Structure 1
Amino acid sequence: MRKGLYLFLTAIVVMIYYLHFWQPSKQSNPLPLDCYNANGETLPDILDVEQPSEGSIYFIETSCQSFVEGRIVITPRQACAVESAALNNPDYRIYLMYTSPGLIRDNITLSDQLLHALIKFENVQVTHLNYKKLLKNTVVEELYTNSKIQLSKFPINTSSNIARLLVLSKFGGVYLDLDMVIMKSLNGLVPNFAVAESDTSVNNAVLSIGVNGSGQEFIRLCLKELQDHFSGDEWGLNGPAVVTKVLKKMCGTESIPDMYNKNCSGFTVYPPEEFYPIPYQTWKWYFNSINVNSLEKSHGIHVWNKLSKAAKSNSNKSIYSVIAKKHCPQVYSIASEYF
């Protein structure tokens, strides 16, 4: 009886001790983006095997979906972005980079079919991007090592905003979001540019940076702004807001339209019609039957995936369907119902 009471009291004391003093280690609670460092089979890493030229176009997939699925995955709309860039820019090397580990598997799923269609293009390469190595010895490395990126309100979006700047800093070239459709060759554009999405904001869904000169100064200032004023609380605060703030300094103006015809220390800001002909406020137009001819002057379209990802076209004559059928025909033939 006494022995049982003694054991019971001892157990109570031990439990109180652990409840009061024990704190779980950081490793016991996985952080968002931990998949970036997961072990397992993965594609060759671009930082190890490639030295992309300035004539390269980059897409970066920063979600952990491939890790979750156990294979490299892509959506029809993402695949359309890649195909359209490859088809309209045959002299560019197109890199589709995944921060999550994985391999391209056999033609079983819709995603597999899309990926196999893309890698048939001679100028398309699918690679891994080691995020931790990409940040190594940069001014924003501590944002990751101190978990500020991982614990931000939008960790995937934040990691993407930073990754594109570092890739362009390292290699030069053109970065594109995976919810774009490219409709023309990019050869006629200047080497260093960004594109305004409206009269009040310059977006970072399209960025072109040369290996030297004003483009690299733009990247340096953006990274410094992130280092000094990082905030993970609002969508876009570490993306378009940073780009807009830096370009106001480089262009010496608070007015976005005043940037269009101005030499901003060797950097160019194009007006919205070049890549954002339909603003995000009216994104539903892409899914309606509206005259596509009005977009012929644009180099591409941005379909605002954050808002439109669940939308479907009301006919095969909608803007998105007509453009996809023409500019990503292989993907459209496989998955037309997604446009």
Structure 2
Amino acid sequence: MLAAKVFGCRLVNPAKSPLSSIIFFAVLMFFMLVNTIISNTSLEPVAFTRKEDSQALQTLKVVRKTSSDVVLLPLPLTFSTQNKIIEVDNEHRDSPASSMSGKKEHGVGKFRRKVQEYGIFKSDDLTKKFHGRVMGFFNDGCEVHFFMTWFSTAESFGTRETMAVESVFKSHPNGCLMILSRTMDSVRGYRVLKPLIDRGFKVAAVAPDFPFLVNNTPAEAWFNEMKSGKKDPGGIPLAQNLSNLMRLLVLHKYGGVYLDTDVMVLKSFEGLKNTIGAQSVGGVSKNWTRLNNAVLVFDMNHPLLFKFIEEFALTFDGNKWGHNGPYMVSRVVRRVEGRAGYNFTILPPMAFYPVDWIKIGSLFKAPRDRAGSRWVEAKVQQLKGKTYGVHLWNKQSSKLQVQQGSVMARLMAEHCVLCKNVYTSS
């Protein structure tokens, strides 16, 4: 009988070798079993074989904690059917948000994703019109040039911020206010400001051109490093530090008055020139101990503004609250105060910061008795006589209700224009 080969093995006539026959069938069954296992594995669909795998892909998020909130960032994921490992896409592997990789981040672009969340870094057709829009907006008819910045959404520009804007025009009917904001420079933002515009007040939101503002300033190199992802923006919300810088740049470029959106103006700023306010003074010496940058009044190209911008860029630290804001202006003024060429005025706390942030809640409470009513009346008269604007320390007071009969209720009633929703906390 002819010999045959199966799987490379020579077959022997089973009649001549019973032992060989048994071995042959054992080998044959083994190869058939292996072949079946391989076939089933190769035909397994490229899909999740367990319910929890599917749920993990759909729900996995990274939680990034900041000083004020928790942001949930959904990340694109890849799934391996061979080893059942869920991975973060390479695009996000080097972002500050993807701490799940467990690897230390290195190289250019380390912080790029965090920085690019802010449209303020973009330069497009809208922002390129910035300078022309500023020059066209401010003219000889403007009593005082005011600037504010807004980095949040247009929807979050609430009644408290609108009240601050109203107070500007109550004391400066012929003033001009520009809100530097990409989000407010929109249909939604226009609707927020329209009631004031309809009453003839000159207010507008304009998307700023950051590259234009930093050009030929000490902050240009800082900006380029931040934009490229080479510089760590830190744990403090980047918008806060961008606002700290933008107010300096816009005053350096155009001059005028900068106000935080939680400053209620009580009287005209027209007589102020190259002015910064003290937040606190020494108990005995009465010399200032800390300045603040919530209100700044400066001519264009003032040398102190240049020093502020230089200090911001050279000593930037995004992990220390106030380091690039109130503490920064305090450091610079302490070095240059009294030097020739730096002509500016430091006003006492009563001018802009008449109530410390710890005690700001007292202005929102209604009096409970006759003594409380007398205190409210005395405080209102004091503020009306000595205060240009009250910094409301919005981080502390934004959720406080304005109670009827309180100091804030009196001030809002006397310094509003639209006078709507006075007693709300939003």
**TM score, norm. by length of structure 1:** 0.78
Partner deviation per Cα, 1:19-77 (whole Å, 9 max, x = no partner): 799564768974254333579997995324222469411111122x13xx5xxx52111
Distance 1:301 1:249, change over 3 A: same
Residue matched to 1:140? 219
Aligned to 2:406: 318
- 1:126 matched to 2:205: yes
Q: CA 1:323/1:42 → structure 2, altered by over 3 Å: closer, same or farther?
A: farther
* Separation (CA, whole Å) in 2 of partners of 1:44 and 1:184: 35
Distance 2:393 2:205 in 1: 24
Is 1:239 aligned to 2:325, yes or no?
yes
Alignment-derived partner of residue 168 in structure 2: 85
Q: 2:246 aligns with which of 146, 149, 163?
A: 163
Partner of 2:177: 94
CA contact (8 A) 2:149 2:180 kept: yes
Is this contact kept in 1: 2:304–2:342, CA < 8 A?
A: no
Per the TM alignment, residue 155 of structure 1 is displaced from its structure 2 partner at its CA by: 1.1
Q: 1:309 to 1:288 in 2, by over 3 A?
A: same
Residue 221 (structure 1) aligns with: 307
Question: In the aligned structure 1, how far is the partner of 2:89 from the partner of 2:416?
Answer: 59
Report the Cα distance in structure 2 between the residues aligned to 1:245 and 1:201, rounded to whole angstroms.
Answer: 9
Q: Which residue of 1 aligns with 2:237?
A: 154
Provide the C-alpha distance between the structure 2 equivalents of 1:194 and 1:323, rounded to a whole number of angstroms.
23
Distance 1:104 1:273, change over 3 A: same
User: Does the Cα contact within 8 Å between 1:179 and 1:304 map onto a contact in 2?
Assistant: yes
Q: Aligned partner of 2:355: which letter? A: I
Select 2:120's aligned residue among 28, 36, 39: 36
Residue pair 1:192, 1:208 contacting (<8 A) in 2 also: yes
- Structural mapping, 1:203-214, within 5 Å: 203-212=292-301
Is 1:180 paired with 2:266? no
Root-mean-square deviation (CA, aligned residues, Å) is 3.6
CA-to-partner distance for each residue in 1:100-124, whole Å, 9 max, x for gaps?
A: 365134xxxxx87642222233322
Residue number in structure 2 paired with 1:304: 393
Deviations 1:201-228 (A, max 9, x none): 100000011124xxx2111111111121
Q: CA deviation at 1:97?
A: 2.1
With over 3 angstroms needed to count, the CA separation of the structure-2 counterparts of 1:102 and 1:196, relative to structure 1, is same
Q: 1:152 to 1:118 in 2, by over 3 A?
A: farther
Q: Identify the structure with bigger relative contact order (alpha carbons < 8 Å, sequence gap 6+).
A: 1
For residue 421 of structure 2, give the secondary structure of its aligned residue in structure 1.
helix
Query: Letter of the aligned partner of 1:141 in structure 2?
Result: E
**2-structure distance, mates of 1:45, 1:15:** 54
- Name the larger-Rg structure: 2
Paired residues of 1:43 and 1:102 also in contact (CA < 8 A): no
Alignment partner of 1:285 is 2:368: no
User: Identity of paired residues, percent?
Assistant: 25
Mapped contact 1:287–1:311 kept (Cα < 8 A): yes
For the Cα contact (< 8 Å) 2:403–2:409, is it kept in 1? no
8 Å contact from structure 2 (residues 163, 264) kept in 1: yes
- Given that 1:287 and 1:320 are in contact with CA atoms closer than 8 Å, whether structure 2 keeps it comes out as yes
CA distance in 2, matches of 1:301, 1:171: 25
The counterpart of 1:198, out of the listed 265, 280, 292, is 280
Conserved 8 A contact 2:128-2:209: no
Query: In structure 2, how many angstroms separate the alpha carbons of the residues matched to 1:80 and 1:198?
Result: 26
1:294 maps to 2:376? no
CA deviation map 1:299-320 (0-9, x unaligned): 11111101111111232x2111
SS class of match (2:280): coil
Gaps spanning 5+ residues in structure 2: where?
Answer: 1-34, 45-78, 98-112, 282-288, 367-375
Distance (whole Å) between structure 2 residues aligned to residue 335 and residue 142 of structure 1 = 44
Alpha-carbon distance, 1:153 to partner: 1.8
Query: Is residue 56–residue 94 contact of structure 1 (8 Å, CA) maintained in 2?
Result: yes
Distance 1:241 1:307 in 2: 19
> What are the Cα deviations for residues 120-172 of structure 1, in whole angstroms up to 9, with x where unaligned?
33322222223344334432234343334744422121111011000001100
SS of alignment partner, residue 203 of structure 1: strand
* Counterpart for residue 195 of structure 2: 117
Question: Number of residues paired by the alignment?
Answer: 310
CA distance in structure 2 between the aligned counterparts of 1:21 and 1:81, rounded to whole angstroms? 45
Distance in 1, Cα, partners of 2:243 & 2:392: 18
Q: Distance in 1 between matches of 2:398 and 2:347?
A: 26
Local SS of the residue matching 1:119: helix
1:252 Cα deviation from its structure 2 partner: 4.7
Alpha-carbon distance in structure 1 between the residues aligned to 2:209 and 2:123: 12
